[in-house]
C-alpha cells in the first residue's frame, strides 16, 4: 500500500514518547509509518516519516492533519506534507518579513525614534491578530513617523537582525535551484538591502514617502496588505512556471492568512494563535530553517 503524504516532525524536545503519540494519531487517521529517518542538528531534532495508507485510496490530507493536530504535545510540531510538493524539482518559497524573515517589527523600531514605540506596538499586535484592518492600521502607525529625519531609516537598518536560520534557508533553496521571494507589509527602504544581500528572486514592500530628507508620515501607492500578499504569490508562481501546489508560504500574522491558504503548504512561524489554527503547519521555535526539512530541500 502507498501514501501520497509524509510526516515531518521537528522540535527541541522530540522525545520517544511524543513519537509514539504521533504514530497513534496517524494510525487513527488511517495511515501508518512505513519508514523513518532522523535529521536536525544540535539546535533541534527532525524525524521524517514515510506514510503507508491503511486503505486502497490515498490518504486524505485534511483528515491526517486534523488527527495529528489533536494529538499535538508541547515541544515539537508535525507537518503533513504532500509528496508531490516534497519531490517537486522546482519550488517557490515565499515569506513574510517582519517577525518571520527578520526578528523585529520595523515599524516599531522606527516609532521608537519618535517616542511612540509602545503605542505603535499595541496597534501592530492587534493588526497581526486580525482585529484591525491592516491598511488602516498601517497608515495610522506610519503617521506617527512624520517629521523624522531620513537618517533614522539607516539607524533602523543597523538594528535589524535576520531570524535564526534565515540566511541558511534562503541559500539552501537557491543552491537547489528553487525560487525565493518575500512580500512585506513593512518598507522597501529597509527590505531592499536585505533582499540584495540574500539574492532574493522577488520582493516587494511598502514605500515610505520622504520629502526633503524627512519622513512625511505617509506611504506611496497601494498598501501591501493581506490580499496583495496572495496576489504576488500567484503572480510570481505563474511568472516562474511553478504550480501553486509546489509553493511554500511562511508568515506569522493575520495579513499572511490568504497567502498561507493559497500556497501548496502554509506554515505559521511563531505565529498568533489564529494563524497557527488556520495554517497547514506550524513552527514554534526560533529556527526558520526548519522549513527546509518540511519542503525536503
Active site residues: 96, 98
SS3 (DSSP) at 25: helix
CB neighbour class for 194 (10 Å; exposed up to 12, middle 13-18, buried from 19): buried
**In 10 A of CB 195, how many CB atoms?**
22
SS3 (DSSP) at 184: strand
Closest CA to 53 of 33, 31, 36, 34: 31
**Measured between alpha carbons, how far is 69 from 65 in angstroms, rounded to an integer?**
6
**Measured between alpha carbons, how far is 297 from 289 in angstroms, rounded to an integer?**
10
**First CA to last CA distance, the chain:** 26
| Residues linked to residue 49 through DSSP beta bridges, in sequence order | 7, 36
Task: Give the number of residues written for the chain.
Answer: 297
Amino acid at each position: 500500500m502507498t501514501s501520497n503524504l509524509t510526516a515531518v516532525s521537528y522540535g527541541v524536545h522530540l522525545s520517544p514518547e511524543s513519537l509514539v503519540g504521533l504514530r497513534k494519531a496517524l494510525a487513527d487517521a488511517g495511515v501508518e509509518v512505513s519508514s523513518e529517518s532522523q535529521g536536525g542538528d544540535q539546535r533541534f531534532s527532525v524525524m521524517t516519516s514515510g506514510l503507508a495508507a491503511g486503505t486502497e485510496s490515498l490518504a486524505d490530507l485534511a483528515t491526517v492533519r486534523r488527527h495529528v493536530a489533536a494529538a499535538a504535545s508541547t515541544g515539537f510540531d508535525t507537518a503533513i506534507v504532500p509528496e508531490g510538493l516534497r519531490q517537486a524539482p522546482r519550488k517557490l518559497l515565499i515569506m513574510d518579513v517582519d517577525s518571520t524573515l527578520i526578528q523585529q517589527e520595523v515599524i516599531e523600531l522606527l516609532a521608537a525614534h519618535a517616542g511612540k514605540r509602545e503605542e505603535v506596538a499595541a496597534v501592530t499586535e492587534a493588526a497581526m491578530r486580525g482585529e484591525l484592518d491592516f491598511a488602516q492600521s498601517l497608515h495610522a502607525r506610519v503617521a506617527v513617523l512624520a517629521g523624522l529625519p531620513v537618517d533614522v531609516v539607516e539607524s533602523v537598518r543597523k538594528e535589524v537582525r535576520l531570524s535564526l536560520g534565515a540566511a541558511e534557508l534562503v541559500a539552501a533553496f537557491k543552491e537547489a535551484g528553487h525560487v525565493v521571494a518575500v512580500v512585506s507589509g513593512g518598507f522597501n527602504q529597509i527590505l531592499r538591502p536585505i533582499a540584495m544581500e540574500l539574492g532574493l528572486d522577488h520582493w516587494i514592500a511598502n514605500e515610505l514617502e520622504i520629502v526633503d530628507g524627512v519622513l512625511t508620515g505617509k506611504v506611496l501607492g497601494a498598501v501591501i496588505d493581506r490580499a496583495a500578499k496572495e496576489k504576488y504569490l500567484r503572480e510570481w508562481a505563474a511568472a516562474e512556471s511553478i504550480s501553486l501546489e509546489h509553493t511554500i508560504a511562511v508568515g506569522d500574522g493575520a495579513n499572511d492568512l490568504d497567502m498561507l491558504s493559497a500556497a501548496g503548504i502554509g506554515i505559521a512561524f511563531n505565529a498568533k494563535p489564529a494563524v497557527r489554527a488556520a495554517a497547514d503547519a506550524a513552527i514554534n521555535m526560533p529556527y526558520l530553517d526548519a522549513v527546509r526539512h518540511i519542503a525536503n530541500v
